[in-house]
Structure 1
Amino acid sequence: MMIKYHPTDEMLMAHAVGELTASMAIAVSAHCEMCDQCAKKVALFTEKAAQQAFDAASLNDDNTEASITDSLNEESVDMDAMFGNMLADIMSDETVPKTLVTPSPQAEISVCGETYALPRALRRYHQLGWSSIGTISRARLPLNEGDTRASLLHIGMNGSVPSHTHKGTELTLLLGGHFEDEHDTYVPGDFIVLDGNNHHTPQTHDGCLCYTVSDAPLHFTKGVSQLLNAVGRVIY
């Protein structure tokens, strides 16, 4: 199955220019490792932002160096062309020396007897401490972003998260395995953003590992799980 859920173009653009928080930048980076479509968009947005920054710098130089002679202006044009060619070379996969592309070491994470490969954006977090309730295990990333919590979330085989909605916004990036809810079936790479307008009961047959970012607790809506709402801020 193909990835169906992606970051918005606005989010990809913000990522390209470094405007996302650390937790969201990790999510977008990890998604782009699994999604060629979004990786290509980020590359284009990055190139566009670099060109705009260079154009702005050139315009500023023109305004402050009005006394430069015609010969120096011609030399400046040549330098612009050289920079443009250099930027094109940098952005081209074919021209980047392979020796400069050094991938991070392979990192795997084991949870409840299952092993998953982590994307590069998360490999530094392969030794987190886990806490578990039933088939659900969570390891929080030490990002210190106030009320925003970033975590690795594992749901074991034939497990589920009780029926809930959201007090704030929750991002779920599926890293491995599969899960489904009342709305769809999700595959690795799916980038799912939900808020208080969404209500669902995620469940998995083969187990799954997700990266989640939440800015408020879940709100459980059915059965005994509603008792968890009293301590929701502690466990989200």
Structure 2
Amino acid sequence: MIKHHPSLIILGQFARGELHASLAVAVAAHVELCPCCQSTVKQFEQMHAEFELGAEANSVNTSFDAWEDEFGDVLDTITSDESRDEVVLVPATSLHYQNRQVHLPKVLAHLPRSEFMQLGKIARARFTLEDDNWRTSLLHIAPGGEIPNHTHTGQELTLLLDGEFSDEFGHYVAGDFILLDGEHHHTPRTENGCLCLTVVNSALHFNKGLSKLLNPIGDLIY
């Protein structure tokens, strides 16, 4: 059962189209997996639509006849347009990893990404998204694997797509949405393996052991 969700502030920003592309992709993927957040987003969208329509109505100071004429012009423009929107059905996209077959959320189906690069028990494939300094990736960790203890010089968003992992703050299952920043130190580890969508806007800072040697080149590998 999903226990970790985007905040109401983030869901509201998502419904209004105010999030960075990378964050919007992650929230959309979570919403697809989470009936609770689907309902919340629909409510936000309805509230936003009612507000915008109400504000527009209040700003118009014309007679009914003038409004009717304007509406008729708009309707004529719409009906005279012979162009057609192309409807594209997005098929479920499967990903095979660690002898598992996982259906990815539809929002990830047509996003181009690199091949997976393996480093020990961790593999990463980066999505191609032009989004300032935000980096969006698929990350899978083999059974018994972990990411060394670290904190963040920016924000890190993790959406667990399959499997499980744990850290100092709890145990996570598919659909959980975890947002961390520089106040959090943790060591994610998985007993059975997992697949995650990760979004970061700055390098990790490793705190212990040999992994600290990666800190000077953190900006190159995040």
TM-score, normalisation: structure 2: 0.86
For structure 2, list consecutive stretches of 5 or more residues without a partner in the other structure. 72-86
**How many residues of Structure 1 are paired with residues of Structure 2 in the alignment?**
205
| Over 6 Å off, 4+ runs | none
User: Hey, which of these two has a bigger chunk of helix by percent?
Assistant: 1
| Cα root mean square deviation, aligned | 2.1
Instruction: Describe the SS at the equivalent of 2:159.
Output: strand
Other-structure match for 1:204:
190
The residue aligned with 1:153 is 139
Query: What does residue 151 of structure 2 align with?
Result: 165
Deviations 1:51-78 (A, max 9, x none): 11111111122x2x1xx26xx59x98xx
Aligned 1:23-102 pairs, distance under 5 A: 23-61=22-60, 63=61, 65=62, 68=63, 72=65
Contact 2:111/2:128 (<8 A) preserved = no
State TM-score, norm by structure 1: 0.81
Q: Is the 8 A contact 1:5 1:191 kept in 2?
A: yes
Alignment-mate amino acid for residue 145 of structure 2: G
Give the residue type in structure 1 aligned to 2:107: A
CA distance in 2, matches of 1:48, 1:116: 35
Alignment-mate amino acid for residue 222 of structure 1: K
Matching of residue 108 in structure 1 with residue 94 in structure 2: yes
Matched residue SS, 1:124: coil
1:152 to partner: Cα distance: 0.8
Give the secondary-structure state (helix, strand or coil) at the position aligned to 1:199: coil
Q: Distance in 2 between matches of 1:136 and 1:185?
A: 19
Which stretch shifts more, 189-198 or 119-128?
119-128
Contact 1:107 1:126 in 2 (8 A): no
The CA deviation at 1:115 is 2.8
Match of 2:5 in 1: 6
Alpha-carbon contact 1:108-1:126 (below 8 Å) kept: no
Percent identity over the alignment is: 44
What is the one-letter code of the residue matched to 2:96?
S
- Please tell me whether the aligned partners of residues 113 and 125 of structure 2 are also in contact (alpha carbons under 8 angstroms): no
Structure 1 position 103, deviation (Å): 5.8
Give the secondary-structure state (helix, strand or coil) at the position aligned to 1:178. Answer: strand
SS of 1:171 mapped into structure 2: strand
